[in-house]
Amino acid sequence: MSNLFIPMTVLLCASMIVAGLMSIWSKRSLPIVMLSSGLVSLLASVQYLLLAAPDVAMTEAAIGSGLTTFLFFFVLSRVRGGTHHG
Amino acid sequence: MAYIAMATGFILILIGFFGALTNRNILRMIVAFTVADTGVNMVIVAMGYMHGRTAPILDVAVSAAQAAARIIDPVPQALVLTAIVIGVGVTALMLAYTYKLYEKKRTLDIAQFTELKW
Amino acid sequence: MVKRITVLLLLIGIGAIFAALLLGYTPDSELNYTARYYADNTVKDTGAANIVAAIVVTYRGLDTLGEVTVLFLAAAIVGLVLASSSHPQGRMRRDRPASGELLVIGARLLVPLIMLLGVYVFVNGHLTPGGGFQGGAILASGALLMLLGDPLKKFSHRLISMVESLSGLVFVGMGLLGFLYAGGFLDNRVLPLGTLGDLLSAGAIPIIYSFVGLKVGAEFSSMLVNLSGTEEL
């Protein structure tokens, strides 16, 4: 095990917590919130690789980071009109 | 290293719960649930990690005879594989219902939906 | 204000429980009994090189059947809930601006490669990291790129539902064959185990995983097509 794993883990986990905090802060606009959740998923996928779980990393990258963000943006574009005068 | 990942997973669960309980826009609540989901999966995978061992795949580096001495626990990974896929299924269902609610009342504020309140 | 304080108190309570769990955790130094059984006997029993794939398809294959059922339910409910929304009318379709040329040409170039990558991932699921769910998600991403490049393209719902139903039938059919020819439901010894590391090894695992991948890809694609079929009012 390389001795770079622990600093990389610390960096990834700190970025994950910052992205998670950004995703619940309600002053931000909706697209930024959804992109932050996609960022949490992406960083978690790299962290899974460092935790010796390549299957889980691939699944999280393809499904969690890709498809969930797409689904959010689809629905956001359908309800966009309502949040401006609803 | 498993401690750091596990602590991060727990903090993500708390962040997700806080977001789901204090936001009023339905889409923000769903995003918070997604973050909490990621946190739970991180905790489970971090539980299976063992220091100095490698992934549970047999190839040139790890042969079948030395498998028991060199791989980590494969069961949490199988569980998390299922959990991630079901998480995205539940998120898709929540988003479909959000769209139908929006169509009915033209608002995404959850305080406006009072039919089930007493 | 009161609500926020209550929420914070609740979260501090849950955080205390989590902290107690974290402090009481000691990582193992040896594999526990179940993991040691899987590590020692996977190659003998199933012949697969990817132990996680062997667990998901063979040892705990019933859980995978349940998961595929839940995904099917989710896709069906999304289709049902969004079916009675307004469909795009003819006049609104003409108002939509054309997608940029980069997107259209790039989509035409990349979609076959993405589909090929998805098929590669689930066909080799028993040898390398990967498998049915990852391959299915990649196939759905290819379908999404097609949808983005040409938003007015009509996807044939019949084709998607036929692929999905056939894959589900083959999955359960292979499981029932396990009753007749091998140890039990979803036993993978109906086909010869072969040598470790070959593409055609591990009995029925490549076939089961491929059809699971096709089914999952078809379900995600149908979810995306349903969500994009709704139109702004």
pLDDT digits (tens, 9 = 90+) for B51-86: 888 888 887 777 777 777 788 888 999 999 999 999
Mutation for B interface: A23, A30, A35, A45, most B CBs within 10 A:
A23
Q: Which residue has the higher pLDDT, B44 or C178?
A: B44
Q: Is the ipTM of this complex over 0.90?
A: no
Question: Percent of chain C scored above 70 by pLDDT?
Answer: 91
Residue in this structure with the two tokens 């083959």, named with its chain if needed:
C170
Q: Taking residues C47-63, what's their average pLDDT?
A: 87
Q: Read off the pLDDT band of C190 (50, 70, 90).
A: confident
Three-state DSSP state, C140: helix
Closest Cβ–Cβ partner in C27, C73, C82 for B2:
C27
Q: Tokens 């439901």 appear where?
A: C185
Kindly give, in sequence order, each residue whose CB lies less than 8 Å from that of residue A45, ignoring residues fewer than 6 positions away. A57, A58, A60, A61, A64, A65
pLDDT digits (tens, 9 = 90+) for C137-155: 999 999 888 888 777 777 7
- DSSP for C21-68 reads HHHT----SS--HHHHHHHHHHHHHT--SBHHHHIIIIITHHHHHHHH
Mean pLDDT across C208-233: 81
Instruction: Output the six-digit token pair for C205.
Output: 């695992």
Percent of chain C with pLDDT over 90: 20
**Does A85 score more than 60 pLDDT?**
no
Angle, CA C103 vertex, CA C101 and CA C106 arms, to 5°? 100
The pLDDT of residue C194: 72
CB < 8 Å to A81, chain C: 232-233
Q: At what angle do helices B2-22 and C2-23 cross, to 10 degrees?
A: 160
Question: Which chain C residues are within 8 Å of B1, Cβ to Cβ?
Answer: none
Q: For residue A81, what pLDDT band results from cuts at 50, 70 and 90?
A: low
Tell me, yes or no, whether B20 lies in a domain: yes
Task: Check residue A86 and give its pLDDT.
Answer: 31
Domain ranges of chain C: 59-87+98-233
pTM of the model: 0.88
Report chain B residues whose CB lies below 8 A from the CB of A74: 95
pLDDT tier, A28 (very low <50, low <70, confident <90, very high otherwise): confident
Instruction: Give whole-number Cα distances, A4 to A43, A50, B1, C24, C137, in Å.
Output: 17, 10, 11, 27, 31
Q: Would an 8 Å CB–CB cutoff place C22 in contact with chain B?
A: yes
Subunits in contact with chain C (3 or more CB pairs closer than 8 Å): A, B
pLDDT surpassing 60 at residue B36: yes
- Alpha-carbon distance C135 to nearest alpha carbon in chain A (angstroms): 9
Residue A46 has which token pair?
């790299």
Q: What domain range includes position A34? A: 5-85
Question: Searching chain B, which residue's CA lies closest to the CA of residue C4?
Answer: B22
Predicted confidence band of residue C97 (pLDDT cuts 50, 70, 90): low
B11 falls within a domain: yes
What average pLDDT does chain A have?
85
Number of domains in chain B: 1
Q: Which of C31, C230, C233 sits opposite B73 (nearest CB)?
A: C31
Rounded to a whole number of angstroms, the distance from the CA of B60 to the nearest CA of chain A is 16
Q: Are the beta carbons of C49 and B67 separated by less than 8 Å?
A: no
Residue C26 has pLDDT above 50, yes or no: yes
Residues on chain B touching A30 (C-beta within 8 angstroms): 25, 27-28
Q: For C73-102, what is the mean pLDDT?
A: 70
Q: Which residues contact B105 (CB under 8 A, 6 or more apart)?
A: B112, B113
Where in the sequence is the domain holding B42, given as residue range(s)?
Answer: 2-51+67-112
Quick one: closest CA in A to C78, which residue? A71
Whether the predicted pLDDT of C112 surpasses 60:
yes
CATH (domain of B99): 1.10.287.3510
